[in-house]
């Protein structure tokens, strides 16, 4: 059994207006959690730490049934391993994937936003302690949801996270860029003021089942080259393509891409076993690179609002404020 659970923070009820429900109880139990990072401390310290700790919120969004929740299981596994001061391999064939609910079959889980209930303390590049939370989203581009619902979930994810992982299958299509633009514009509609700086922090395009490793190699390097080519603007390009690319580039402080191999039939075939089992060697190799890279000090983004770092307590307030705006 995992020590935590995926707490439903925002629930989406279809078919009614103002259909986003903020689960305040779960929000307080996770982001507003008193014994943050599992430390046994005095109530006074709890109060101070809750005010002071900076927060990194890593969120994953993208189409339904493309392995988002599956991947998050490895994030939790790795963070647990770090927390226990682990050495050596942090996952193998016996790794149990029972944290975020991932599934085969045609059904889907409740739509909305989930946060892993356990916060993890890590150090950023300056050696300062940061509380890390993981966020899963369900509903984006789902055929059963309306475009409005997709945009809202994605916008919330973008506005709340310090690192947004955009999970895509096999390639980054023009449609994916268009959706990104739609979602980020929607998110910005709900901002009160316009600022000079890029409105959002870090976006990582995560391309699953990457088929062209002979052209662009797996991992960050191939991803960087692929993304550069994709987002390049040229004088000859159609205006709309150019505007789209400029919009995407100016919306985020940094853009990265990671090209992930196909995991193998066992995983792709929607088996219902809750352990990893045998996967393609290239997949486990890249998984071993991707996951630790997300939590490395120099890539750990602390959540900022208008350039100012915010604390867990302020994050709780941000959730509440955004939900009010999106439901009005
Ligand atoms: P989510 O809706 O995006 O959260 O998707 P899930 O994590 O629930 O996974 C949906 C299905 O995709 C599961 O049956 C997984 O076995 C499978 N899956 C997970 N990762 C991958 C991957 O990288 N490639 C392929 N082809 N399938 C995957
Ligand atoms: Mg999921």
For the stretch 42-97, pLDDT in tens is 555 555 555 567 889 999 998 888 899 999 999 999 999 998 888 889 999 999 99
For 21, the token pair is 């429900």
Q: Give me the chain's average pLDDT, please.
A: 84
Atom of ligand 1 nearest to the CA of 70: 7
Ligand 2 centroid to residue 102 C-alpha, Å: 6
Task: Classify residue 101 by burial, with Cβ atoms within 10 Å: 0-12, 13-18, 19+.
Answer: middle
Q: Atom 19 in ligand 1: which residue has the minimum CA distance?
A: 67
* pLDDT tens readout for residues 259-313: 999 999 989 987 777 889 999 999 999 999 999 999 998 888 888 888 888 888 8
Ligand in closest contact with the CA of 67: 1
Ligand in closest contact with the CA of 102: 1
Atom of ligand 1 nearest to the CA of 62: 3
CA-wise closest residue to 266 among 281, 286, 280:
280
pLDDT band for 211, please (50, 70, 90 cuts): very high
Question: For helices 312-327 and 147-160, what crossing angle results, to 10°?
Answer: 160
Ligand 1 neighbours (beta carbon < 6 A): 64-70, 102-104, 208-209, 262-263, 267-268, 270
H helices, E strands: number in the chain: 10, 11
Ligand 2 centroid to residue 128 C-alpha, Å: 32
Backbone dihedral region for residue 264 (phi beyond 0: left; psi -120 to 50: alpha; all else: beta): left
User: Which pLDDT score, from 0 to 100, does residue 173 have?
Assistant: 93
User: Which pLDDT score, from 0 to 100, does residue 233 have?
Assistant: 93
For 254, the token pair is 């940094």
Ligand 1 centroid to residue 76 C-alpha, Å: 16
pLDDT band for 36, please (50, 70, 90 cuts): low
Ligand 1 centroid to residue 70 C-alpha, Å: 6
What's the whole-model pTM score? Answer: 0.91
Atom of ligand 1 nearest to the CA of 283: 23
DSSP strands (E only) in 75-230:
112-116, 120-123, 129-138, 163-169, 200-208
Q: Atom 21 in ligand 1: which residue has the minimum CA distance?
A: 67
Q: Which of 267, 278, 279, 286 to mutate to test the pocket of ligand 1 (most atoms within 8 A of CB)?
A: 267
Please count the CA atoms within 13 angstroms of the CA of 134 that sit on its side-chain side: 27
* pLDDT tens readout for residues 113-155: 999 998 888 888 888 888 899 999 987 555 555 666 677 888 8
Q: Are the C-beta atoms of residues 256 and 224 closer than 8 Å to each other?
A: yes
Rounded-to-integer distance, Cα 20 and Cα 12, Å = 5
CA-wise closest residue to 251 among 199, 195, 291:
199
């Amino acid at each position: 059994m995992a020590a935590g659970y995926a707490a439903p923070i925002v629930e989406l009820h279809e078919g009614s207006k103002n259909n986003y429900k903020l689960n305040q109880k779960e929000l307080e139990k996770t982001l507003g959690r008193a014994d943050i990072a599992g430390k046994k401390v005095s109530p006074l310290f709890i109060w101070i730490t809750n005010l002071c700790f900076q927060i990194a919120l890593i969120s994953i969004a993208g189409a339904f049934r493309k392995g988002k929740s599956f991947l998050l299981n490895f994030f939790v596994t790795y963070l647990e391993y770090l927390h226990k001061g682990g050495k050596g391999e942090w996952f193998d064939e016996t790794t149990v994937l029972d944290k975020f609910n991932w599934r085969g079959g045609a059904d889907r889980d409740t739509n909305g936003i989930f946060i892993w209930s356990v916060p993890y303390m890590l150090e950023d590049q300056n050696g300062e302690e940061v509380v890390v939370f993981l966020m899963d989203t369900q509903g984006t581009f789902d055929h059963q949801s309306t475009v409005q619902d997709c945009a809202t979930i994605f916008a919330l994810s973008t506005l709340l996270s310090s690192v947004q992982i955009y999970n895509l299958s096999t390639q980054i299509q023009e449609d994916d860029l268009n959706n990104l633009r739609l979602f980020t514009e929607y998110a910005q509609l709900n901002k009160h003021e316009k600022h000079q700086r890029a409105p959002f922090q870090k976006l990582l395009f995560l391309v699953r089942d990457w088929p062209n490793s002979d052209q662009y190699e797996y991992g960050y390097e191939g991803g960087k080259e692929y993304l550069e080519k994709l987002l390049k603007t040229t004088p000859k390009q159609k205006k709309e393509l150019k505007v789209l690319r400029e919009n995407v580039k100016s919306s985020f402080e940094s853009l990265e891409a990671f090209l992930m191999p196909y995991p193998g039939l066992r995983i792709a075939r929607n088996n219902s076993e809750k352990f990893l089992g045998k996967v393609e060697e290239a997949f486990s190799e890249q998984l071993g690179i991707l996951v630790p890279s997300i939590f490395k000090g120099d890539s750990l983004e602390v959540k900022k609002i208008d350039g100012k770092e915010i604390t867990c307590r302020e994050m709780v307030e941000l959730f509440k404020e955004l939900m009010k705006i999106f439901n009005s």
